């Protein structure tokens, strides 16, 4: 089975996208086919042993559309869109240029505007009608696609929006030509009674061209997220080859190449710093506003900006493997995917245009049978056809998803698809892993308690000197703290690791033991003086390490996996949103409860094996809860997959990121809150769009058919109907673009801090 995405040209509305889905879906070997009208992309899942791309292409071509086999690069896509918009503006300008005098001539006399005698219908009906016909022809020429595409769709029995416009305006033009022939053959009343509808057709085409141009501009803006991500990567890099620095296109870089990155320059590829020290701005990847310090051995990422120092970086990943390229791929996939809520519009769109045709015909026949004139019935017929807007239905969901996922990516929140985006807004229970999610994920020294003649710095110096030979995480935390405080380490005479107990060493001629209470007991050292303090540290989730110097108890150094600064605030904000927080961990119950108390979580499940986390999620789901799992480790992957929404902390493992539905580039739990807020905002936006699209058609079509004329003589002019149709699509796109103003709560928290 294969999954591929292709560009489909020629679609103008939701009826078109529904048609392409139906045609492709009927082909043997196709498992699923999904069309995104906003991106003009077809995503298919198929059996390559049964069906080929040529078969799919032929089926789409036969339906009246065009499959682009070769994937279009984003740079070419951008140029293509810009060129398309320029052409559309030119077409509108030409159409408007001829429509303005057309309206003046056709309606001037009725409005009291002066007309030259040569064009006055009372004196020269033939010139009056002929001039309108000649002014209408250029408008039809620039709007020819409405006819070629619309009529072709009708012949293929898959009418679309262009078909509605083509039939409506063609009816007006044909009737007007009939009236013109009557004038030429001597029926002067055909001109006097205003039986000409050239201006109706001309203005409808002009207004719809304007609407489509504005729609294309708005739609183009929904692609901004992808384009901006693409533009982040630098085009060249300064590479050391054979000891000589040369400038190369990034496409020519190789794994293990050494690149020089000067202050103000962008990192060209993902790599490791092998020389230098600098602050790196990773905001474009993570949404993190503060630069991050980087030194030897630290990872750096393509497109991040070197703020001050000179760095020498070894390339570890090439263009298609970088974090930036992964982000772009995730956003692309999400924008091409459909949310389940889109099925409503898809179902309606498949029947929409044929139903509108039927309503228009019934309207036309009904007014004729009711004794009204041909001109009146024709006006109602045209109004019904041009006010109907399947475009708004087709754009309601994908545009909101495109903007929402793009905004998320810009803020370090990667949402993998429309289904994940929709499900996230239903979440009411979140299960958090402890280590690396709520906590930092590595031990840090938290307390130093001394007795007798030692002060804190002296005890830290002894402990760090003793532990510098240790590879244990707790020992590394002590040494790291000593470096941070610029404490000088003493030389060791020997070092012995005592399994399960601690270490024994000699520092600066002094015999030193560091370890747990069992080590002190084994060596006959009395720790009674600080037993109360040690118990309190343990209750707080910290690990007390006892220190003895030359046989005497000297004090305690406590180490703990500390809680992230934002975790408590994040839990508080989630609780205020009505979301239940549960912490699950393999750690002991005492430590787990201490961490939970600190961040405000009351429901704690401790000493859980990796496989049991997924079982816990299943139990919560069995109780009818929509559950999200937040984690960062390999052992979280099963639970991330089992949850309704898996949320991976981006600083975690690749396995966790691949298993998750949402990936947070920052290791900050407030981004969990922001992901849910963004989901709710996007789904709310989609519902608003669908409500407008359905409501507009439900209200507009009956008005166009003349229901208000029966009660209070209110008619909808076909030209007004055309303007309303264009406004409908633009309003849906404009509403979707409002999501660009989404603000992260983490930004507010950072500012307050």
Residue 588 has pLDDT above 80, yes or no: no
Confidence (pTM): 0.73
242 is annotated as an active-site residue: no
Residue 717 has pLDDT above 70, yes or no: yes
* Spatial strand order in the sheet of 30-36: 30-36, 41-46, 2-9, 66-68
> Binning pLDDT at 50, 70 and 90, where does residue 651 land?
low
> Binning pLDDT at 50, 70 and 90, where does residue 188 land?
low
Residue 297 has pLDDT above 50, yes or no: yes
Q: Which of 450, 627, 424, 639 is nearest to 530 (CA)?
A: 450
pLDDT, position 685:
92
Per residue in 509-558, pLDDT (tens digit) is 889 999 888 899 999 999 988 989 988 888 887 888 899 999 899 999 99
**CA-CA distance, 603 to 570, in Å (whole number)?**
16
Per residue in 46-103, pLDDT (tens digit) is 888 889 888 999 999 888 888 886 554 455 566 677 888 899 999 999 999 999 998 8
Q: Are 294 and 273 in contact (CB under 8 A)?
A: yes
Residue 628 has pLDDT above 90, yes or no: yes
Nearest-10 crossing angle of helices 456-467, 473-484? 130
Residue 221 has pLDDT above 80, yes or no: no
Q: Are 445 and 478 in contact (CB under 8 A)?
A: yes
Determine which of 289-293, 497-501, 570-574, 579-583 has the lowest per-residue pLDDT on average: 289-293
Q: Which of 77, 257, 433, 671 is catalytic?
A: 433
Determine which of 319-323, 382-386, 447-451, 703-707 has the lowest per-residue pLDDT on average: 319-323
Kindly write down the DSSP assignment for every residue of 270-294, as one continuous string: SEEEEEE-EEEE-HHHH---S-EEE
**CA-CA distance, 268 to 315, in Å (whole number)?**
9
Distances (CA, A) of 727 to 150, 383, 386, 657, 720: 21, 15, 12, 41, 10
State which H helix or E strand residue 554 sits in.
strand 552-563
> Binning pLDDT at 50, 70 and 90, where does residue 338 land?
low
pLDDT, position 752:
44
Please, what is the average pLDDT of the chain? Answer: 83
Identify which has the larger pLDDT, 121 or 396: 396
pLDDT, position 730:
83
Residue 448 has pLDDT above 90, yes or no: yes
Q: Which of 17, 49, 48 is nearest to 33 (CA)?
A: 17
Per residue in 145-183, pLDDT (tens digit) is 888 888 888 887 777 778 888 888 888 888 888 888 888
Give the rounded percent of residues in the chain with a pLDDT score beyond 90.
Answer: 21
Residue 753 has pLDDT above 50, yes or no: no
Lookup: tokens for 483: 């470096």
**CA-CA distance, 596 to 571, in Å (whole number)?**
10
Lookup: tokens for 147: 């006819």
Q: Which of 539, 631, 537, 634 is nearest to 583 (CA)?
A: 631
């Amino acid at each position: 089975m294969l999954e591929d995405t292709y560009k489909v040209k020629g679609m103008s509305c939701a009826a078109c996208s529904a048609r392409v889905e139906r045609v492709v879906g009927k082909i043997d070997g196709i498992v699923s086919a999904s069309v995104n009208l906003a991106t003009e992309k077809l995503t298919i899942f198929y059996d390559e042993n049964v069906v080929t791309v040529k078969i799919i292409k032929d089926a789409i071509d036969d339906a009246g559309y065009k499959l682009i086999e070769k994937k279009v690069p984003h740079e070419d896509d951008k140029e293509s869109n810009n060129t398309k918009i320029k052409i559309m503006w030119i077409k509108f300008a030409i159409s408007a240029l001829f429509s303005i005098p057309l309206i003046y001539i056709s309606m001037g006399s009725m409005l009291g505007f002066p007309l030259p005698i040569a064009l006055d219908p009372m004196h020269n009906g033939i010139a009056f009608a002929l001039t309108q016909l000649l002014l209408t022809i250029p408008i039809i020429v620039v709007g020819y696609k409405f006819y070629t595409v619309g009529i072709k769709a009708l012949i293929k029995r898959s009418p679309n929006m262009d078909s509605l416009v083509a039939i409506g305006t063609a009816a007006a033009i044909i009737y007007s030509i009939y009236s013109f022939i009557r004038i030429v053959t001597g029926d002067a009343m055909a001109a006097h009674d205003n039986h000409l509808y050239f201006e109706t057709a001309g203005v409808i085409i002009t207004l719809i061209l304007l609407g489509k141009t504005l729609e294309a501009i708005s739609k183009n803006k929904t692609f901004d997220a992808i384009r901006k991500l693409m533009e982040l990567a630098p085009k060249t890099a300064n590479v050391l080859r054979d000891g000589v620095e040369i400038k190369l296109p990034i496409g020519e870089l190789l794994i293990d190449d050494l690149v020089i990155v000067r202050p103000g320059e962008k990192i060209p590829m993902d790599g490791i710093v092998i020389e230098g020290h600098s602050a790196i701005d990773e905001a474009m990847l993570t949404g993190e506003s503060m630069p991050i310090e980087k030194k030897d051995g630290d990872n750096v990422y393509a497109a991040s900006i070197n703020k001050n120092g000179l760095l020498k970086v070894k390339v570890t990943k090439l263009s298609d493997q970088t974090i930036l390229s992964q982000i772009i791929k995730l956003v692309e996939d999400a924008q091409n995917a459909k949310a389940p809520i889109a099925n409503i519009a898809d179902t309606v769109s498949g029947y929409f245009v044929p139903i509108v045709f039927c309503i228009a015909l019934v309207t036309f026949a009904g007014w004729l049978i009711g004794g009204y004139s041909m001109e009146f019935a024709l006006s109602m017929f045209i109004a019904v056809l041009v006010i109907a807007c399947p475009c708004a239905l087709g754009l309601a969901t994908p545009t909101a998803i495109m903007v929402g996922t793009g905004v998320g990516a810009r803020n370090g929140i990667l949402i993998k698809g429309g289904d994940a985006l929709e499900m996230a807004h239903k979440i009411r229970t979140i299960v958090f892993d402890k280590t690396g999610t709520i906590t930092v994920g590595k031990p840090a020294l938290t307390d130093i308690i001394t007795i007798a003649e030692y002060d804190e710095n002296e005890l830290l110096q002894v402990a760090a000197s003793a532990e510098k030979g240790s590879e244990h995480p707790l020992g590394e935390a002590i040494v790291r703290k000593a470096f941070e405080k610029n404490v000088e380490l003493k030389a060791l005479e020997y070092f012995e690791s005592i399994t399960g107990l601690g270490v024994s060493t000699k520092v600066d001629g002094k015999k030193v033991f560091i370890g747990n209470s069992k080590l002190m007991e084994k060596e006959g050292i009395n720790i009674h003086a600080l037993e109360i303090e040690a118990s309190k540290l343990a209750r707080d989730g910290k690990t007390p390490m006892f220190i003895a110097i030359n046989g005497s108890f000297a004090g305690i150094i406590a180490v703990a996996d500390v809680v992230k600064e934002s975790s408590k605030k994040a839990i508080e904000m989630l609780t205020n949103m009505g979301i239940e927080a549960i912490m699950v961990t393999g750690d002991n119950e005492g430590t787990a409860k201490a961490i939970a108390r600190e961040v405000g979580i009351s429901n704690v499940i401790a000493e859980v094996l990796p496989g049991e986390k997924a079982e816990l999620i299943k139990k919560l789901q069995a109780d009818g809860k929509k559950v999200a799992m937040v984690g960062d480790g390999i052992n979280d992957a099963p639970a991330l997959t089992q949850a309704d929404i898996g949320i991976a902390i981006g600083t975690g493992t690749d396995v966790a990121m691949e298993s998750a539905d949402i990936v947070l580039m920052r290791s900050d739990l407030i981004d969990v809150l922001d992901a849910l807020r963004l989901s709710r905002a996007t789904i709310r936006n989609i519902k608003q769009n669908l409500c407008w699209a359905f409501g507009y058609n439900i209200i507009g079509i009956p008005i166009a058919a003349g229901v208000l004329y029966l009660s209070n003589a209110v008619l909808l002019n076909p030209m007004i109907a055309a303007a309303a149709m264009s406004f409908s699509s633009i309003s849906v796109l404009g509403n979707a673009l409002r999501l660009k103003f989404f603000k992260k709560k983490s930004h507010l928290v950072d500012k307050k801090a």
